Chain A
């Protein structure tokens, strides 16, 4: 792709180098720790699903018990492996015995440490092979049914009731939507467990549970087969259960996941060490199984001015990309985020937005780009919002974005009604059809407004990245360098779930993911 923005390649390389340093520093600072969510994910991957009578997931009970007994520094897998050998129970029976108190995992005799590790490592490898085979089948199904060309339309369903969500998702598919997102109930990100079973009550979204994922996947597979076009599913690996939701998505055949490295820190006040550890395993899982991840830079523009914050968006894209890359996600599976949040009254706002969208596109040529619609300045007039969305759709086409979250006319009023998404998708398809060849036709004037703006933003992004590299990401977040939000290393939710690893720490999942080739990308 030739640059339409006449970017200085030296500046781009310097941005990448700074981001590499930032990411390496994060890994160095977090590599000696694990979290309860990471440990639960290992157990879930081994097949520990379900919950007790009170709805507490078995994975939570077991990990909490190992933590209470003081053994989590060796990793939950070791104790479970030893427990399986010592008790000769199945994984689920062992977990239930831990819940009812008849087994204390860390006080069982350890006869052979090597055997205890081997039994779970073998289980883990078998499970990963099984899941890889299922992913390959799904990959074949996608190839066989086919998909729309890019940009793919990403649409949220959010009725709170998974069965109503299915009806809404069918309407989305009927009108050309490509990716349906099971958006979570508000506040799910702060739950330090994943709720169990199907749910019909949610606020601003529907709980991300494994059963809800399964119900939605089944319905969309049915639509896909009937209509001979594959519909992708997405949800959110964020909050206090990032890697667990990634694992659930793999099991239930999801294709895409919002999986930002910093979002939970900035916008959910989750402890930064916790999130940076959790995002790494979450992204390693998504990367390994061919799931596309989306970063969430759009969120900065909801709290900071879009024009002022543009350099911090670009800086964050570099950091988010590098953290994902260092977690094992191939570039083709990283969809960096961006959003059209310039105020509609700003003179030449459309041109400035073209510049920013094109900049994101050019800085990450091998990545997908996920482009988000205007929300912040949408004032409740559905007709004005629909008009603004039309320009958003035009920028999407003109700059060759890969995935666009559709803008709905009722943005800022309520979670969309069933016909709001239909109107939105008709708008998308109108613009995409009418301006299909626009990206190939247009160039930007040398040293014109669009080129100059992109060059300025990139230069300012480099300054931020070099400053962040200098002080480290933790300090930079404390200084409110991203989204105008300040968070401190010692504060935030979920810090109590961080444990320093012992020398004998064992995590078969991380080991298998870290050493095996990628399934397909």
Chain B
């Protein structure tokens, strides 16, 4: 039974440590010598972050002129979940077998997926986790599904090559991964892909998806993708999205 001190909705939520206390941990470095001034500046930063009763529990020099601080403080406000509710809060993901069965019955052929880690990004880990037979953390990638025919182009693939390949194999979906995000490199690269896809007139028939540790669904949609997947994504999440999106698209003309 849920204790009365943990209201979930209606009154709103806040961080929970061992009761409805709002306790938050923060750690950061200040470019200041380890000193009372550094710790006091840390507390002021916590205050402006909206934390009350903040205390510095640890500080140490990082190198000359830099100090690392660990603080705790309380967030006294609440966030009402209902006020921020979005459609993706309640998505139920299909598992591997369910996706295969769904695609077989609703679409009747494997979906063609072109994937790559694009631009200058050398990291293949993300795209491989989603697409390779072995997958990630015990979850097989899309190559293992009957529902997908996968073309994994690997890492450091120019956007133009991804688009050309998608046209060649009549891809149902393009899935790209971006790992390096320093100085918003990924934004430029992803924007370029969207522009190319639109220029080639693929937008209507190809689902466009991106993923990576620092990519959110919101960011992806803002850039013109159909969806974005971040940390914690397993191949069946992507598979569910692709299968249901393609099914939606094919069902529209059928219904008309």
Structural contact, A380 and B29, CB atoms closer than 8 A: no
Chain A residue contacts of B154, Cβ below 8 A: 269
Assess A419 versus B27: contact at CB under 8 Å? Given A203-B185, A204-B180: yes
Q: Decide if the interface of chain A is mainly helix, strand, loop or mixed.
A: loop
Structural contact, A269 and B68, CB atoms closer than 8 A: no
Size of the chain B interface, CB-CB below 8 angstroms:
31
B213 CB contact (under 8 Å) in A269, A377, A412, A417 = A412
Chain B residue contacts of A174, Cβ below 8 A: 61-64
- Which residues of chain B from 116 to 155 have any CB-CB distance to chain A below 8 Å in the complex? 120-125, 128, 134, 137, 154-155
CB-nearest residue of chain A to B185: A203
B125 CB contact (under 8 Å) in A187, A302, A379, A414 = A302
A380 CB contact (under 8 Å) in B134, B155, B231 = B231
Structural contact, B29 and A419, CB atoms closer than 8 A: yes
Structural contact, B183 and A203, CB atoms closer than 8 A: yes
Verify if B191 is at the interface (C-beta below 8 Å from A).
no
Nearest CB of chain B from residue A54's CB, rounded to whole Å: 20
Nearest CB of chain B from residue A11's CB, rounded to whole Å: 29
Verify if B53 is at the interface (C-beta below 8 Å from A).
no
Structural contact, B181 and A268, CB atoms closer than 8 A: no
CB-nearest residue of chain A to B69: A419
Q: Considering the chains assembled together, what is the distance between the CA atoms of A379 and B136 in angstroms?
A: 11
Structural contact, A418 and B29, CB atoms closer than 8 A: yes
Chain A residue contacts of B66, Cβ below 8 A: 167, 171, 418
Structural contact, B214 and A414, CB atoms closer than 8 A: yes
Verify if B156 is at the interface (C-beta below 8 Å from A).
yes
Verify if A186 is at the interface (C-beta below 8 Å from B).
yes
Structural contact, B68 and A419, CB atoms closer than 8 A: yes
Verify if A474 is at the interface (C-beta below 8 Å from B).
no
Chain B residue contacts of A417, Cβ below 8 A: 29
Structural contact, A413 and B213, CB atoms closer than 8 A: yes
Structural contact, B125 and A268, CB atoms closer than 8 A: no
Among A204, A379, A412, max chain B CB count under 10 A is at: A204
Nearest CB of chain B from residue A482's CB, rounded to whole Å: 15
Q: Decide if the interface of chain B is mainly helix, strand, loop or mixed.
A: loop
Verify if A422 is at the interface (C-beta below 8 Å from B).
yes
Nearest CB of chain B from residue A34's CB, rounded to whole Å: 26
Structural contact, A269 and B63, CB atoms closer than 8 A: no
Which interface class (under 10, 10 to 19, 20 to 34, 35 or more) fits A?
20 to 34
- Which residues of chain A from 364 to 413 have any CB-CB distance to chain B below 8 Å in the complex? 376-377, 379-380, 412-413
Structural contact, B182 and A204, CB atoms closer than 8 A: yes
Q: Considering the chains assembled together, what is the distance between the CA atoms of A171 and B214 in angstroms?
A: 26
Structural contact, A186 and B124, CB atoms closer than 8 A: no
Structural contact, A422 and B68, CB atoms closer than 8 A: yes
Verify if A160 is at the interface (C-beta below 8 Å from B).
yes
Verify if A467 is at the interface (C-beta below 8 Å from B).
no
Structural contact, A268 and B156, CB atoms closer than 8 A: yes
Structural contact, A203 and B29, CB atoms closer than 8 A: no
Interface 1/0 per residue, B52-82 and A, CB below 8 Å: 0000000011111010100000000000000
Q: Considering the chains assembled together, what is the distance between the CA atoms of A203 and B123 in angstroms?
A: 12
Q: Considering the chains assembled together, what is the distance between the CA atoms of A413 and B181 in angstroms?
A: 10
- Which residues of chain A from 298 to 316 have any CB-CB distance to chain B below 8 Å in the complex? 302-305
Nearest CB of chain B from residue A295's CB, rounded to whole Å: 18
CB-nearest residue of chain A to B230: A380
Structural contact, B231 and A422, CB atoms closer than 8 A: no
Nearest CB of chain A from residue B192's CB, rounded to whole Å: 15
Assess A186 versus B120: contact at CB under 8 Å? Given A203-B182, A380-B231, A419-B62: yes
Verify if A189 is at the interface (C-beta below 8 Å from B).
yes
Nearest CB of chain A from residue B130's CB, rounded to whole Å: 14
Interface 1/0 per residue, A316-358 and B, CB below 8 Å: 0000000000000000000000000001000000000000000
Nearest CB of chain B from residue A309's CB, rounded to whole Å: 11
- Which residues of chain B from 10 to 46 have any CB-CB distance to chain A below 8 Å in the complex? 27-29
Nearest CB of chain B from residue A201's CB, rounded to whole Å: 7
Structural contact, B62 and A171, CB atoms closer than 8 A: yes
Interface 1/0 per residue, A195-226 and B, CB below 8 Å: 00000011110000000000000000000000
Q: Considering the chains assembled together, what is the distance between the CA atoms of A303 and B125 in angstroms?
A: 7
Q: Considering the chains assembled together, what is the distance between the CA atoms of A343 and B124 in angstroms?
A: 18
Q: Considering the chains assembled together, what is the distance between the CA atoms of A365 and B55 in angstroms?
A: 52
CB-nearest residue of chain A to B27: A419
Nearest CB of chain A from residue B72's CB, rounded to whole Å: 15
Q: Considering the chains assembled together, what is the distance between the CA atoms of A170 and B31 in angstroms?
A: 14
Nearest CB of chain A from residue B178's CB, rounded to whole Å: 11
Structural contact, B156 and A414, CB atoms closer than 8 A: no
Nearest CB of chain A from residue B150's CB, rounded to whole Å: 15
Which A residues are within 8 Å of any B CB, using their own CB?
160, 167, 170-171, 174, 186-187, 189-190, 201-204, 267-269, 302-305, 343, 376-377, 379-380, 412-415, 417-419, 422
Question: Across chains A and B, which 8 residue pairs bring their CB atoms closest together, nearest first?
Answer: A187-B120, A171-B63, A419-B68, A204-B180, A170-B63, A203-B185, A203-B182, A419-B29
